[in-house]
Chain A
Amino acid sequence: MRRHRTPWFTYPLAVFFAAFFLIPVIYAVMSAFKPVAELRLIVPTFFPRSLTLDNFRSAWNAVPHFPTVLFNTFLVAVSSTALAVTINTMSGYALAKFRFKGDTLILMIILATIMLPLEVIMVPIFRVLRFFGMYNSLWALIIPPAATPAGIFLMRQFLLTIPNDLIESARIDGASEWKIFYKIIVPNAKPAIATIAIFSFMWRWNDYIWPLIAISSPRKYTLQLAIATFQGQYQTDWSSLLATSAISMIPMLIIFLIFQRQFVQGTVETGMKG
């Protein structure tokens, strides 16, 4: 058997692209530790000449209720992700493995909602949130974005690859539909579930437009809303903004490091990209 050889340029190219995407992020994190004067140098420094935590202190003081804001962001991201995984897996399973009247139409309607940018439907969404009494409540950040059309579609595509025979034989053995879901579908869909979980957490953690529509009380702000307040009409508080941005990256890094294997596997198998 001929052994496949990796072309010589693959690794340099991979390093180049990794650096291309990583350098701005590392630069932003490094800048969060620079004194204000160093941030203003006309020839910027990459690594801080002198490390300071002043930017973090000023960000902490500038954002009202900073610990609450951090907690809100975490709570919204975790709850919404748990809900997203549950709803997307169930919906994807229904659309992949059950034939019922209107199933294709439902799928088409779900997919059609991907085509509408959020900005276009901001006011109708606002009215819906208000109608359900969710305006200015963290529920508004947790429940509505949980069932993402992209998540349902990707889960359906992934579950199509699970043989129907597996499900049929479980039914013949007398397993209930719930048992089939928990004992067969969920374990087999782990890579897709991990991918959806990571992306959902990332989307909710970084979400700006949705909280902007749904929340008006500073005690219910998420980190992204708090970061945006550093931008005024004439001035932007870059040092506080960079420090808060650096803080906001930490949970994402932890999540990625823990689920790295499932993330890569899921991305490859579902074709999902960030």
Chain B
Amino acid sequence: MKKFLVLSLTLFTAFVVAACGTSDRPDFQMMWFSDGTEGQVMRELLERYRDETGVYIELFEIGWDVYETRLGTMIDGGEAPALVRTTEGVMNNFKDLLIELDDVFDTTAYTNIFYSANNLPLGLPMDVTANGLFVNTDILDRCGVEYPVRGDEDIWTWDEFTTEMDKLRDCDDVSVPGVFDFQGHRFMAMIYQQGVKIWNEPFTDSNLTSPEAVQALTILHDFYQNGMISKEVFVSGGAAAEMFQTGTVGFHMSGNWRVSGYGDNDFEWAVIPMPTGPEGHRATLLGGKAMSAVQGSGNEQAAKDFIAWLAEPANHDEFNNFVPFLSARIGAEIDFGEFQEAYSMFQDEINATDPAFVSDWLTQTQIPGMYPMINLMTDRAAEGVMTPLEILEALEASLIAAME
């Protein structure tokens, strides 16, 4: 018995030692988060990169909730990953720790670039995200809602949108007319749709308390208060897509990142033009993900070499084609397959957005901690305890204080 125990213990220890050892050690690592299949697509690209160059980059995925915490811990602890997938929020929060990539790729070939204080790029833009309006066409057709489609000359205004969507309130099998994704990103586009920029150049005074901005927030505020959109999203922080996928919600204000996830919806859906303000201004808010290199990883040059490889049109397009995503590379041709019509609508929204609004929003994303501030203020609209003007005055004060 004793011999058996000793033998078992020895074998187990040997097993543990073997399992804890390292084999096939990567040259360096890439930190990643996924909303769908893009992690798998990047892994395949990394395999090809290894075949071509012999450099083994290991991709490791982290849940979004703890993504920035984990990145901060690794950098502070001296184990910075060489490469990291970034959003404009991540680039903003870690801008002093990312490598400027001015000598790595041609910035004129890409859109939606996030710049450092030195006006140098902090990440290679990989994909572009844009806000857009999803509708359950089964419900809208059944309930007699009239709506525009891509190519129509007359796009609906917010007033017309409200009138039409009001029809859903009395329609059978509709749990709530609509849902908005959480949270500030959707609202800021509404300000531009009212025809006003947030900042007056040189970006010191804001228009956040202008009648146009107040009108934008009043629409959102009233939607929450009169039940046009569900408060559940504001409470739970992110169940909008799940609610829309129940097939009992008329519209979902979201973005192109939802398209592939909606592929298996068991109802007919479409992406249609977002409403405009009274002057007919169309606007979507651009966002997206980028590939950044981190300072202090010990593999800075190798990381830059990979980004240069990724910036080559064939490699960049392969990533966006296989997911598929709207590409940040100007002139890229992406095959969206069954989702071609939906993506064309997003492209249409982007094309219809005044470039002045795009650069205005990019200025906004440079403000430290601006996302939590905007989200907090749009939460206030859902709570209904402050007037839209009071909310915007508080937001303006917070953003200006953060800039100073």
Contact = CB atoms under 8 A, between A and B. Distances in A.
B29 A216 contact: yes
B78 A130 contact: yes
A28 interface: no
Contacts of A71: 19
A126 B79 contact: yes
A230 B12 CA distance: 32
Interface string B238-278: 10011101111000000101100100101000000000000
Contacts of A234: 35, 181, 238, 241, 255, 257-258
B73 A216 contact: no
A232 B16 contact: no
Given A40-B246, A138-B19, A233 B29 contact: no
B81 interface: yes
Contacts of A221: 60
A233 B35 contact: yes
B61 A218 contact: yes
Contacts of A185: none
Interface stretch (B63-71, B155-163, B393-401): B63-71
A15 interface: no
Contact of A122 (B16, B64, B73, B79): B73
A155 to B, nearest CB: 22
B20 A137 contact: yes
Contacts of B118: none
Contacts of A130: 77-79
B226 interface: no
B33 interface: yes
Nearest to A122: B73
A48 to B, nearest CB: 16
Interface string A226-258: 001111111110100000000000000000000
B318 interface: no
B348 interface: no
B36 A235 contact: yes
23 contacts: A71-B19, A75-B19, A126-B73, A126-B77, A126-B79, A130-B79, A135-B79, A139-B20, A212-B70, A216-B31, A216-B74, A216-B81, A217-B58, A228-B66, A229-B61, A231-B64, A232-B33, A233-B33, A233-B35, A233-B64, A234-B258, A235-B36, A238-B242
Interface of A: 36-37, 40-42, 64, 71-72, 75, 79, 122-123, 126-127, 130, 135-139, 142, 212-213, 216-218, 221, 228-236, 238
